[in-house]
Amino acid sequence: MRNFKFTLAYDGTDFHGWQVQPDRLTIQGALADGLRRITGESVMPQGSGRTDAGVHALGQVASCAIASSIPAANLMVALNDVLPAAIRVLHIEEAPAEFHARKSARGKSYQFRIFRGDICPPFLARYVYHHPYPLDEQAMVAAAAEIVGERDFTSLAAVDPERREDDGARSNVRTVFCSQWQRAGDESIYTVRGSGFLHHMVRNLVGMFVLIGKGSLRATDIARILQARNRSANPGATAPASGLYLVSVEY
Amino acid sequence: MRNFKFTLAYDGTDFHGWQVQPDRLTIQGALADGLRRITGESVMPQGSGRTDAGVHALGQVASCAIASSIPAANLMVALNDVLPAAIRVLHIEEAPAEFHARKSARGKSYQFRIFRGDICPPFLARYVYHHPYPLDEQAMVAAAAEIVGERDFTSLAAVDPERREDDGARSNVRTVFCSQWQRAGDESIYTVRGSGFLHHMVRNLVGMFVLIGKGSLRATDIARILQARNRSANPGATAPASGLYLVSVEY
């Protein structure tokens, strides 16, 4: 058996998320199906983490072992032939036997795109969160810095403690290496890089930062929200999936 | 009654084209439905021309008369609230009673986007034609110039002589004002501006230019193809709808 590392980009709009589900179109299911069609083998590629329905990826990583002797480059061309155009394999390489896309991950980066203009172009509607109302960008920039470091992010996680985006440690402590808002044309873009992320953590962070941008929450409230270790302490909504991108996974 | 001019952008991927059809999602149908919900009036906005299923618009124009006294700016906000995110009203203005989006049109511009890279990003798949094979761009640039002027474009039209994209004159003579290929990053973009266009005309032009780019047809063949006044004289395929954009309509 050879162990493979796959790097994938996908438009998550029309998928029921990463994780395979019976009778539903999922990224993991489509990839497994493609591998079966090409190699004849029933394998289940493991992702670096699950992405929810509608969430996109610029650099999701998956791994699995395959018996076939097909060269990696040929496998990539063949997969891109059989996969839907909304999923592209960007890179395939052989990896050491012990490599596992989720367990070996050391860090991840996400982006969240908010479209700020009055009219969201129809060609962006699937790829951003449209928020045409005023936001105090300076307050959001300052707030983003407040979450850098090792912290318990329970208050920023979905209330499904058994399910973690990265499925890794049992604790809800994660380290955020960098967290920042930037303006790019009509968009406000949030970039966050960390050791791992809880389920809904990035979307809940964005929801919290948007409340700060609106002025109904202050950056100084963040310490209290984190300390509560309870989702209900964070009054922000979970920002829509359409704006979220898994940018890259570090090993 | 007040006569209105609507300027629209849309992602045509999930629509069965412009023209209203029973039990099918169409742009014209969605716009009529939105107007009915807002004004209570059953009106059928007329487009500058039909766009086929999957074809996009950056600046389609439609017109219709409405009895309601709603201000144009409010109507625009209300329409963008009720329309699907894939259709946006960019502008609404009152027009003279005699204004008709199709009959008053003096010219139109289209673009066609070919993505040339090996792997088409999933976020572009709906919005381009992916052609990852070599094309002689200089030959295509030269060929594009060959169709400028007043000509009978029967050989570049769909074989449904009763249906014209612009529905205007009975003849298949149209004037092309400019026609050019340009490179922009990983894309080759064809821009054409003319007095009007026959059904499938731009996509058939692109199909012909792609054959010229491949070297299986020469720019000097174009005069012969046009002279035949027969679709079968043009060996090119009809290029996919996903790459085509109605850019603007001139009045």
Separation CA B244–CA B224 (nearest Å): 26
| pLDDT for residue A201 | 97
Q: Which of A86, A120, A130 is the closest to B122 by Cβ?
A: A86
**Do the domains spanning B2-95 and B107-250 agree at the CATH topology level?**
yes
Separation CA B95–CA A165 (nearest Å): 54
| pLDDT for residue B170 | 72
Tell me which DSSP letter residue B45 carries.
P
> For the segment A125-134, what is each residue's pLDDT rounded down to a tens digit?
999 999 999 9
Number of helices and strands in chain B (H, E) = 5, 10
Q: How far apart are the first and last CA of chain A?
A: 22
What are B41's two structure tokens?
């009036």
Chain A interface residues (partner B, CB cutoff 8 A): 9-11, 56, 80, 85-90, 119-123, 125-127, 130
Mean pLDDT of A228-240: 95
What are A126's two structure tokens?
């699937």
Location of structure tokens 């380290």: A175
Judged by CB atoms closer than 8 Å, whether chains meet at A88 and B123 is answered as no
Asked if the model's pLDDT at residue A169 lies above 70, the reply is no
| pLDDT for residue B169 | 58
Quote the strand ranges of chain A, DSSP E.
2-10, 46-47, 56-66, 87-95, 107-115, 129-130, 149-152, 173-184, 187-194, 244-250
**Residues of chain B contacting A119 with CB distance shorter than 8 Å:** 80, 88-90
Location of structure tokens 């009219």: A119
Q: Are the C-beta atoms of A199 and A49 separated by less than 8 Å?
A: no
Asked if the model's pLDDT at residue A14 lies above 60, the reply is yes
ipTM reported for the complex, 2 dp: 0.89
Q: Are the C-beta atoms of A32 and A20 separated by less than 8 Å?
A: yes
- Residue A151 amino acid letter: R
Q: How many CB atoms are located within 10 Å of the residue A228 CB?
A: 14
Which of A14, A83, A91, A119 should one mutate to test binding to chain B, selecting the residue with the greatest count of B CBs within 10 A? Answer: A119
Long-range contacts of B40-46 (CB under 8 A, 24+ apart): B40/B68, B41/B66, B41/B67, B41/B68, B44/B20, B45/B6, B45/B101, B46/B100, B46/B101, B46/B102
> Tens place of pLDDT for every residue, chain B, 251 residues?
999 999 999 999 999 999 999 999 999 999 999 999 999 999 999 999 999 999 999 999 999 999 999 999 999 999 999 999 999 999 999 999 999 999 999 999 999 999 999 999 999 999 999 999 999 999 999 999 999 999 999 999 998 755 555 555 578 999 999 999 999 999 999 999 999 999 999 999 999 999 999 999 999 999 999 999 999 999 999 999 999 999 999 99
The domain locations on chain B are 2-95, 107-250
Confidence of residue A113 (pLDDT cuts 50, 70, 90): very high
| pLDDT for residue A164 | 57
| pLDDT for residue A159 | 85
Nearest chain B residue to A81 by CA: give it: B119
Looking at the domain that runs over B107-250, which CATH code has it been given? 3.30.70.660
Three-point CA angle B172, B189, B149, nearest 5°: 30
Separation CA B235–CA B220 (nearest Å): 14
Q: Which of B11, B80, B123 is the closest to A119 by Cβ?
A: B80
Q: Are the C-beta atoms of B247 and B59 separated by less than 8 Å?
A: yes
What are B179's two structure tokens?
């026609």
A183 three-class SS = strand
B152 is catalytic: no
| pLDDT for residue A167 | 54
Task: Return the CATH class of domain A2-95.
Answer: alpha beta
Separation CA B113–CA B181 (nearest Å): 10
- Angle between helices B201-214 and B137-145 in degrees, nearest 10: 140
Q: What is the mean pLDDT of chain A?
A: 95
Write down the H helix ranges in B40-171.
72-82, 137-145
> For the segment B170-196, what is each residue's pLDDT rounded down to a tens digit?
789 999 999 999 999 999 999 999 999
| pLDDT for residue A150 | 97
- Min distance B175 CA to chain A CA atoms (Å): 30
Separation CA A142–CA A179 (nearest Å): 10
Separation CA A60–CA A79 (nearest Å): 15
> For the segment A35-65, what is each residue's pLDDT rounded down to a tens digit?
999 999 999 999 999 999 999 999 999 999 9
Tell me which DSSP letter residue B209 carries.
H
Separation CA A204–CA A225 (nearest Å): 12
Catalytic residue among B14, B23, B52, B166: B52
Asked if the model's pLDDT at residue A165 lies above 70, the reply is no
| pLDDT for residue B177 | 97
Separation CA A246–CA A243 (nearest Å): 10
Mean pLDDT of A115-128: 97
Chain B interface residues (partner A, CB cutoff 8 A): 9-11, 56, 80, 85-90, 119-123, 125-127, 130
Asked if the model's pLDDT at residue A163 lies above 80, the reply is no
What are A203's two structure tokens?
């979307």
Judged by CB atoms closer than 8 Å, whether chains meet at B11 and A90 is answered as no
Report pTM: 0.93
Let me know how long chain B is: 251
**Residues of chain A contacting B78 with CB distance shorter than 8 Å:** none
Q: Which of B86, B90, B120 is the closest to A119 by Cβ?
A: B90
Separation CA A110–CA A130 (nearest Å): 18
Nearest chain A residue to B245 by CA: give it: A123
> For the segment A60-103, what is each residue's pLDDT rounded down to a tens digit?
999 999 999 999 999 999 999 999 999 999 999 999 999 999 99
Asked if the model's pLDDT at residue A162 lies above 60, the reply is no
Share of chain B above pLDDT 70, in %: 96
